[in-house]
Chain A
Amino acid sequence: MSEYYDVIVIGGGHAGCEAAAAAARTGASVALITIAADKIGEMSCNPAIGGLGKGHLVREIDALDGLMGRVADQSGIQFRMLNRSKGPAVHGPRAQIDRALYRDAMQAEIASIDNIHLIEALVDDLIIEGDQLQGIVTGEGVSVLARSVVITTGTFLKGMIHRGDERIAAGRIGEKPSVQLATRLYDLGLPMGRLKTGTPARLNGDTIDWAALEMQPADNEPVPFSYMTDQIRVPQVSCGIAYTNADAHAIIAENIEASAVYSGAISGQGPRYCPSIEDKVKRFADRNRHQIFLEPEGLSDNTVYPNGISSSLPEHVQDAFIRKIEGLETVEVFDYGYAIEYDYVDPRALGRDLQLQSIPGLFLAGQINGTTGYEEAGAQGLMAGLNAGRYSAGQESVTLERDQAYIGVMIDDLVTKGVTEPYRMFTSRAEYRLSLRSDNADQRLTAIGVEWGLVGEAREKMFHVKQSLVDSAKSALKNRSLTPKEANDLGWSVNQDGQRRSLWQFLSYPDISLKSVLDVFPDLHELDNQALKQAEIEAGYASYIERQASDVQAMRRDEALRLPKDLDYSRIGGLSNEVRLKLETVKPETIGQAGRIEGVTPGALTAMLAYVKRRKKREAA
């Protein structure tokens, strides 16, 4: 007798947890199947959450009532707001994380959700009858049935660790890879490729000479990730900063042929933004030092993660060059760095709901789609779990647009352009960066989440309270105005053009701050302070965001022009073979998406539109 669920989630990493929780929030019964239940919420690589673009994603996950932000707030041991001096649109919340606290908090979150059932097993096979997905089969031969399945297997698909000339088949160090499932995905005819990433050695913090190092403290007032967290209660620590030097570089250069990356053993493409120390020494030979952040992995764990020296050199070479570094002369290495190669599915095979176009009901999220990072994985997991839940309930898929969320930017990039290296979020990927800020993720998304049935009662209530506070702050600022002469008397230099301006407008001047406005109108102090700050940020970007409004409109117009799923591109005249192939690979859902495929010209778009219109006319006749 097999068990039946609405949704099966394979994998208990960051994508899997968000997927299971999101599906459960839609009301689905969920089976979360993982190889090792005690590894749920494990951070396989660096012990940190957030940063630029990534911090934005965490806030968005949180705004849709996901887990990552709340869990990070319970386990963050060094909170820092990056880019404080650079304009609120590019503020990036980031925190070092205590691995054990994070894992515990995540496991507690999962355990607290009634309709998630945990199954500890390896998944070997998918059950597909005709083109109908039925469920999965475990390594023990047990079948578990469901209407939809979300695969979040991270680096476990045919994972292979490389270090010097060592080759270890593994998903993470010390953990078995998933080979059967990868084979099954190949058999399904999915387009697959290989990527690589790397990780540095882990050091014994007790053997580091901290006194010799520069230290980087946490912010005085840690700012939480979650809109639901009022205060960070975890003790805060500092990170150390060390530097490589000429001696270390010489050792690396001498042994570069022994590096797995340079010996040609690895075919997968690694990320340009996360190069190994071998890469850095080779490509930037003119630099005599590279920075290393020594990040504690936990409050009660003496392991230190040396961020900046990921390497696939043999163990003895890693030992040798690390010990050349000031502060690390007598360091003990717990585990050595390695490069890991793994399979991914070309995400252009997915729709924007992260469902495979060729196998309805099968959703993919996280590194299997060619991304990197906990935040990218979590965000995809949330959207895949949400849509899997909706699929099982017979509801339409939902998506976020590029002007609504970084989540929308990321998924659109993935399914439209595919990947050539592990995809990581950057703020520069978002054309509407000035509106997609980390401070307003809730204003952008929580109402949508409520509509999708994804947001719990507590958050919904809190959101409405905040929304009304922000609204009254904004209208107070907009309703009060000054003449240019009055402003001038206050020392605010404006054009003496006789035009009255509202306080909202004055706030868009770079030299007029909220503080100076409050000094002049002390009664405004009655308004909520957080809401006033939010209004100040919005006022500062108002003119730029208005200028983008026509771009947004044009994009929305193109997004509204939907292309039929069964469109036969070979029947559309005027498309070159190259363009036709690309369109067939991506199967864009809208004219807007088609236009973002590299090489698709305005002429090709016109031809597609004309064809679709003719076809509709024929069908109507």
Chain B
Amino acid sequence: MAADQDTIFALASGALPSAIALVRLSGSRALEICDDLVSGGPLEHSVASLREVRSGSGALIDQAVVTAFHSPRSYTGEHTVELSLHGGGYVVEQVYERLSELGARLAEPGEFTRRAFEAGKMDLTQAEAVADLIDAESEAQHKQALQQLGGSLSNLYQIWHENLVRALASLEVYIDFPDEGDVGTEDTGPVLNRLRILSADFERSLSQSAGAERVREGFLIAILGPPNAGKSSLLNALAGYDAAIVTPIPGTTRDFVETKLRIGPYLVRLSDTAGLRETSDEVEKIGVERAHKRAEEADLRIWLIPADGYEQDSFKVIQKDISVLSKSDLISERNVSRETLSISSKTGYGLSDLKSFIEERLNALARPGIMPSLTQFRHRAAIEKANTHISDAIAKIETHTLLDLAAEDVRLAARAIASLVGHIDVEQVLGSIFSDFCIGK
């Protein structure tokens, strides 16, 4: 029965034990396997019914709510059955055993989504979005993934792809039909225009993409400052638990400590660093070097200036950084200027202001533009590649050199975009030629 190992199953809900365990089954034999597994006859499409689940020997395993989705109207496009079992480890184990006996096999990670992709139920960007949606830890990540799942990115790529196909068609028509019918004079104006607009689109999208990629991965914020400025205290206060060791001894933090938290809708990777000072301690020296490196990588830096004084000139604050007066509990409010944020990790004073201030800065960095954002490096790389080819093509067409090479450049650009959503077929180009131009003498 080699061909039947194709029907797969897996636990679709969280870790056991739990109130309910959802086991999903998908494949050409999912319905018949389920008929053998549960009582009560054939399963109708999209109807939930209470069934008895029995083992091979006929012993009752559990009572379950069972819902079948007939091919192709299911997530994977194949016959799919969902069993809502009581979430005990033993129950699920028994069901697994019975399903294996009946010829199904445990799914590999991501296999359901892969099948959905292969069945054409979703494209590559949507499949990626499913993974992102499951991993989403913040509102912004969630929103981004939902948008992508809804096809916002693939819609954008489709539009670009179509435009590239049309640009290619208008070059190919001059190449393949030079003296046939009504192609007309070789006016490269329209195709140049189309390519220039595409290139501008690519560039705008790329300039927005760094922010989108950050939303997906989490923003890196570094807390910097002189030793004993209260950096670790601030990290702990914002994280809400003791992630870093805090002592009154300057130089306690020798390496950076990172913790994930949410600020507003964003996932943030907050990093505490070693206090910046000249030191002869070898270990602390390395820590300071790492702190500098961290400061460079960070999307946002919080400079802590302790209210109880520090050595001037030990670092340079740059404009995009946030300067914060720490340990404000040590001084009277009168002495704090209104422009400077002041906080006390000890009393909690100013922390919520700091959070809103950070959120505002992140809003600007995330820059949700008009276009859907390129959330992944893979996308950005493909679009950069496409843009380079388009620029090559534009240069060749402008200088009237070899049209066959310009067409090759546009083809390579279309292929780069196609790698994000699907493939380019010569039939698409020919179809575009014959619908836009009156060919044939």
**In the complex, are the beta carbons of A544 and B408 less than 8 A apart?**
yes
* Residue in contact with B402 in the complex, picked from A284, A510, A574, A603, CB distance below 8 Å: A510
B371 in contact (CB, < 8 A): no
A593 in contact (CB, < 8 A): no
Nearest CB of chain B from residue A165's CB, rounded to whole Å: 25
Q: Which residues of B contact A603 (CB under 8 A)?
A: 114-115, 118
**In the complex, are the beta carbons of B404 and A287 less than 8 A apart?**
no
**In the complex, are the beta carbons of B404 and A87 less than 8 A apart?**
yes
B4 in contact (CB, < 8 A): yes
Q: Which residues of A contact B177 (CB under 8 A)?
A: 52, 273
Q: Which residues of B contact A273 (CB under 8 A)?
A: 177, 180, 434, 439-440
A291 to B182, alpha carbons, bound, how many Å?
Answer: 6
Nearest CB of chain B from residue A378's CB, rounded to whole Å: 20
- Kindly supply a per-residue 1/0 record for chain B positions 4-42, scoring 1 wherever the CB is within 8 Å of any chain A CB and 0 otherwise: 111000000000000000000000000000000000000
- Kindly supply a per-residue 1/0 record for chain A positions 407-434, scoring 1 wherever the CB is within 8 Å of any chain B CB and 0 otherwise: 0000000000000000000111101011
Complex interface residues of chain A between 278 and 298 (CB less than 8 A to chain B): 280, 283-284, 287, 290-293
A283 to B440, alpha carbons, bound, how many Å?
Answer: 13
Nearest CB of chain B from residue A197's CB, rounded to whole Å: 11
B403 in contact (CB, < 8 A): yes
A308 in contact (CB, < 8 A): yes
A572 in contact (CB, < 8 A): yes
Complex interface residues of chain B between 54 and 109 (CB less than 8 A to chain A): 77
**In the complex, are the beta carbons of B440 and A308 less than 8 A apart?**
yes
**In the complex, are the beta carbons of B399 and A284 less than 8 A apart?**
no
A496 in contact (CB, < 8 A): no
B6, B408, B434 — most chain A CB neighbours (10 Å): B408
Range class of the B interface residue count? 35 or more
A232 in contact (CB, < 8 A): no
B368 in contact (CB, < 8 A): no
B179 in contact (CB, < 8 A): yes
A135 to B404, alpha carbons, bound, how many Å?
Answer: 47
- Kindly supply a per-residue 1/0 record for chain A positions 93-130, scoring 1 wherever the CB is within 8 Å of any chain B CB and 0 otherwise: 00000000000000000000000000000000000000
**In the complex, are the beta carbons of A510 and B434 less than 8 A apart?**
no
**A200 to B, closest residue via Cβ:** B441
* Residue in contact with B426 in the complex, picked from A52, A308, A429, A434, CB distance below 8 Å: A429
* Residue in contact with A510 in the complex, picked from B172, B179, B401, CB distance below 8 Å: B401
Nearest CB of chain A from residue B56's CB, rounded to whole Å: 23
- Given A52-B175, A573-B2, do A274 and B440 touch, yes or no (CB 8 Å)? yes
A570 to B6, alpha carbons, bound, how many Å?
Answer: 12
Nearest CB of chain A from residue B117's CB, rounded to whole Å: 8
A87 to B171, alpha carbons, bound, how many Å?
Answer: 13
**In the complex, are the beta carbons of A576 and B438 less than 8 A apart?**
no
- Given A272-B434, A273-B440, A290-B438, do A573 and B178 touch, yes or no (CB 8 Å)? no
A268 in contact (CB, < 8 A): no
Q: Which residues of A contact B115 (CB under 8 A)?
A: 603
**In the complex, are the beta carbons of A284 and B182 less than 8 A apart?**
yes
- Given A284-B438, A427-B175, do A87 and B405 touch, yes or no (CB 8 Å)? yes
A246 to B165, alpha carbons, bound, how many Å?
Answer: 33
Complex interface residues of chain B between 388 and 441 (CB less than 8 A to chain A): 399, 401-405, 407-408, 425-426, 429-430, 434, 438-441
Q: Which residues of A contact B407 (CB under 8 A)?
A: 428
Nearest CB of chain A from residue B255's CB, rounded to whole Å: 43
**In the complex, are the beta carbons of A573 and B6 less than 8 A apart?**
yes
B150 in contact (CB, < 8 A): no
**In the complex, are the beta carbons of B5 and A290 less than 8 A apart?**
no
B174 in contact (CB, < 8 A): yes
Q: Which residues of B contact A291 (CB under 8 A)?
A: 181-182, 441
Q: Which residues of B contact A308 (CB under 8 A)?
A: 181, 440-441
Nearest CB of chain B from residue A225's CB, rounded to whole Å: 18
**What number of A residues sit within 8 Å (CB to CB) of B?**
47
Nearest CB of chain A from residue B180's CB, rounded to whole Å: 8
* Residue in contact with A293 in the complex, picked from B403, B404, B441, CB distance below 8 Å: B441
**In the complex, are the beta carbons of B403 and A290 less than 8 A apart?**
no
* Residue in contact with A573 in the complex, picked from B3, B172, B176, CB distance below 8 Å: B3
**In the complex, are the beta carbons of A52 and B176 less than 8 A apart?**
yes
- Given A53-B176, A427-B175, do A89 and B439 touch, yes or no (CB 8 Å)? no
**In the complex, are the beta carbons of B441 and A574 less than 8 A apart?**
no
- Given A86-B402, A86-B403, A570-B3, do A272 and B439 touch, yes or no (CB 8 Å)? yes
B50 in contact (CB, < 8 A): no
A602 to B124, alpha carbons, bound, how many Å?
Answer: 13
B156 in contact (CB, < 8 A): no
* Residue in contact with B441 in the complex, picked from A90, A307, A604, CB distance below 8 Å: A307
B381 in contact (CB, < 8 A): no
**In the complex, are the beta carbons of A280 and B179 less than 8 A apart?**
no
A449 in contact (CB, < 8 A): no
A337 in contact (CB, < 8 A): no
**A413 to B, closest residue via Cβ:** B426
A321 to B175, alpha carbons, bound, how many Å?
Answer: 31
**In the complex, are the beta carbons of B440 and A86 less than 8 A apart?**
no
B119 in contact (CB, < 8 A): yes
Q: Which residues of B contact A53 (CB under 8 A)?
A: 176
**In the complex, are the beta carbons of B426 and A90 less than 8 A apart?**
no
**In the complex, are the beta carbons of A428 and B438 less than 8 A apart?**
no
- Kindly supply a per-residue 1/0 record for chain A positions 299-333, scoring 1 wherever the CB is within 8 Å of any chain B CB and 0 otherwise: 00000000110000000000000000000000000
10 further contact pairs, Cβ within 8 A, besides A90-B176, A273-B440, A570-B3? A86-B403, A274-B440, A275-B440, A280-B438, A290-B181, A427-B172, A428-B172, A433-B408, A573-B4, A601-B118
User: What are 14 of the A-B contact pairs (CB < 8 Å)?
Assistant: A52-B176, A83-B178, A87-B404, A275-B438, A280-B181, A291-B181, A307-B441, A426-B176, A426-B430, A431-B426, A510-B401, A573-B6, A601-B118, A614-B2
Name B residues whose Cβ lies closer than 8 Å to a Cβ of A: 2-6, 77, 114-115, 118-119, 172, 174-182, 399, 401-405, 407-408, 425-426, 429-430, 434, 438-441
